Structure 1
Amino acid sequence: MFVRSIYATGDPARADTAIRALNTQGRDLLEERPGYRGAGVFVDRELGKLLAVSWWESEEARRNSDQVMRERRGALLGPFAGTLAVDNYEVAGFHEVRLPRVGGGLRITRLEFDPADTDLLADTFRTSVVPRLETMAGLARAALFVDRQRGRGMTGVLFTDRESLAASRAGQAAARHEGAAKSHVTVTGLEEFEVVHADARVG
C-alpha cells in the first residue's frame, strides 16, 4: 500500500470550507481513480491545519492519480490554504483494532532516519510500538509511513474519541522514546488532529 499526504495551513475560520470541498468534490475525484483505497481528512481547528491522506493499492496507481489531483488541489483547498506540502509514502506498518470515528483523534509523529534503517524501523513499529499501543483505551488504528529514499516518515495513531487521545499521551510518549532508540530515528514533529473522515480500506 502507498499513500499521499496533503498538509495545508491557513485561516482557521476557513478550514470548514476546505473540508467540505475535500469531502465532496475531492472524494468524487479520488473515487474515479483506479487503485484508490480510501482516504482520511484531519483538522486542527484552533491553529488552522489540515491533513488529508489518500491510500493506493500500488505506487503506480498513486503516481497515475497525481496529475489530475495536482491540477484540482488549489481549487479544492482555497481560499483556506496559505501553505501546502505534498508527500508520498509507502505503508510500512498497519494495525487496526476497530474502525475510526468522526470526532475521534489522530496523533502523528514525524520521523527522520538513515534510509538503511528503514526495515529496522518497520520491524520495531510492529514488534515494539504496536504492542504498547494495544494497551491504550480507545485505540482504533496505527500506521507507519516511510519514504525510503529520503529517510523520512511518520506514524499516525487514531483513537475513537478525543478523551482517549488525551489519556494516551504519556503512554505513547514512552512508546515513542523506546521505539526511537531501538530504530535509530529522530523525532522531528508531533501533532494532534480531529478526525473528520477516515475510510481507508487496508488489507
Structure 2
Amino acid sequence: MFVRTVYATGDPARIDTAIRALNSQGRELLEERPGYRGAGIFVDRALGKLLAVSWWESEEARRNSDEVMRERRGVLLDPFAATTSVENYEATVFHPVRKPEAGGGLRVTRLEFDPADADLLTDTFRASVVPRLESLPGLARTSLLIDRERGRGMVGALFVDRESLAASRGVQAAARHEGAAKAHVTVVGLEEFEVVFTDVRGD
C-alpha cells in the first residue's frame, strides 16, 4: 500500500475544529476516491499537533486523490492549522494484531537512512522488530513507511489504550536501538499521539 501523511500544527484550543472537519467532510472526500484503503486521525491536544494519514492501494491512486484533496485541505484544517506539511510513503510493512480503538495511542518514530538501504531496513524491521513489538500488551498494529528516494521513513506502533502505549516505551526503545543499528538508520524524531479515528483495510 501507499500512504499520504498530513502533519499540521496550530493553536491547541482550535484543534477540535480541524478534527470535526477531517472526520466528516474529509473522510467523505477520501472514501469517494478510487483505490482508497483507509485513514487515521491522530492528535496531540496539549501541543496542538495533528497527523492525518490516508492509505491507498497504489501509488497512482494516491497521486490522483491528492489532486482533489490539495484543493480542500486548507479549508478542512482552517482555522486550526498554522503550519502544514504533506509527505508520501510506501508501506513496506503493515502488521495488524487486533482492532485499534478511539482513545488509544500511537507512537511515531521518524527515520533517516541511505536510500540504498531501503530494502535492508524493510527486511530488518520485518524480521527483528515486528516479533518484539507484536508481543507487547495492547498492540493493535505496527507499520513501516518509507520514502525510498529521500531516505526517510516512519515507524508507527498503534496501541488500544494510552496505558499500553506508556507501558511499551522501554521495550520499544530497546527494539528501536537494535533495529537502527542493524538497518543503518538514524532516528530523528519520536512522537506520541491520541487516536481519534483509524480504519485501514490491509491486504
Residue 124 of structure 2 aligns with which residue?
A: 124
Count of aligned residue pairs for this structure pair: 203
Residue 158 of structure 1 aligns with which residue?
A: 158
Residue 19 of structure 1 aligns with which residue?
A: 19
Deviation of the 1:27 alpha carbon: 0.4
Q: Distance in 2 between matches of 1:134 and 1:50?
A: 26
Q: Distance in 1 between matches of 2:32 and 2:191?
A: 31
Residue 97 of structure 1 aligns with which residue?
A: 97
* Cα-to-partner distance string for 1:85-133 (whole Å, 9 max, x where unaligned): 0000000111111011000000000000000000000001100000110
Deviation of the 1:69 alpha carbon: 0.2
Q: Distance in 2 between matches of 1:28 and 1:183?
A: 39
The letter of the residue matching 2:43 is V
Deviation of the 1:136 alpha carbon: 0.8
The letter of the residue matching 2:116 is A
Deviation of the 1:134 alpha carbon: 1.5
Q: How does 1:24-63 map to 2 (within 5 A)?
A: 24-63=24-63
Residue 71 of structure 2 aligns with which residue?
A: 71
Residue 180 of structure 1 aligns with which residue?
A: 180
* Cα-to-partner distance string for 1:42-99 (whole Å, 9 max, x where unaligned): 0000000000000000000000011110000000001000000000000011111101
Q: Mark the runs of 5 or more structure 2 residues left unpaired by the alignment.
A: none
Q: Mark the runs of 5 or more structure 1 residues left unpaired by the alignment.
A: none
SS in 1 for 2:200: coil
Q: Provide TM-score, normalisation by structure 1.
A: 0.99
SS in 1 for 2:135: coil
SS in 2 for 1:199: strand
Deviation of the 1:196 alpha carbon: 0.3
Deviation of the 1:135 alpha carbon: 1.8
Question: What percentage of residue pairs aligned between the two structures are identical?
Answer: 78
SS in 2 for 1:118: helix
Q: Distance in 1 between matches of 2:118 and 2:82?
A: 33
SS in 1 for 2:196: strand
Residue 7 of structure 1 aligns with which residue?
A: 7
* Cα-to-partner distance string for 1:112-166 (whole Å, 9 max, x where unaligned): 0000000000001100000110221100000000000000010000000000000
